[in-house]
Amino acid sequence: MKIESENIHRIFSALDQQILIMGGAPISLVVCGGTALAALGLITRTTKDVDVLAGIEKTDSGLNILPMDKFPSWLSAAAQVVARDFTLPTDWLNLGPAPQVKSGLPEGLAERLVGKSFGNFLTIYFISKRDQIFFKLYAAVDRDDYHLQDLKALNPSNEEIEASARWVLTQDVSEEFRMMLKDFLIRNGYENIAPGI
């Protein structure tokens, strides 16, 4: 089964139930990528997995991003049952983008998160359209694939592209990457932004 807007709630609700069965605890996860795009109705497309960026906790001063190196064992066990029940890949719930937390996140990302509860145990915080644009630009610079298609489908404003480009340069400070980024902007209709990057 593919993950898409029509079944995201079913899949996450099933995961919530399995967390209970596995003796787990309430957990909040930050999700980016295709699942977040579909869940927020930003782009209608399917994906095969759920990209978890981090954990998160609520504090008196707001939301606090928690870096994650691995899932709790009960969450991994719960995810395996859901994979079986929905014929999803064994790694459908993964921490692929988690290293990004240590590399640096766009300023204000936590304040822009959109939280949704899927039961008594599982809350998912989806990253916003603005932050999707940041991540998609970074991923698309040297690849002509679905990341570029997603970026175009998000229809970013010039301001969003310029802000994204400036953030992307904090992730790779090499001159070679700067030139690749400039070339990407020129090729994709943002030639007015390229000279200032």
Predicted confidence (pLDDT) per residue in 52-69, tens digit:
999 999 999 889 999 999
Average pLDDT over all residues of the chain: 96
Task: Report, as an integer, the average pLDDT of 17-44.
Answer: 97
- Of the pLDDT bands very low, low, confident and very high (cuts 50, 70, 90), residue 173 is very high
Question: What is the maximal distance between C-alpha atoms in the chain?
Answer: 56
Task: Report, as an integer, the average pLDDT of 29-50.
Answer: 95
**What is the Cα–Cα distance from 68 to 83, expressed in whole angstroms?**
21
Query: 128-140, pLDDT tens digit by residue?
Result: 999 999 999 999 9
Q: How many Cα atoms sit within 13 Å of 43 on the Cβ side?
A: 26
Task: Report, as an integer, the average pLDDT of 88-95.
Answer: 98
Q: The pTM is what?
A: 0.94
> Residue 161: which of 189, 183, 180 has the closest Cα?
189
Is the confidence at residue 144, as pLDDT, over 80?
Answer: no
pLDDT reported for residue 185: 96
Is the confidence at residue 148, as pLDDT, over 80?
Answer: yes
Rounded (10°) CA dihedral 108, 109, 110, 114? 130
Q: Taking the domains of the chain in order of start, what are their residue ranges?
A: 8-127, 135-191
Task: Report, as an integer, the average pLDDT of 159-166.
Answer: 97
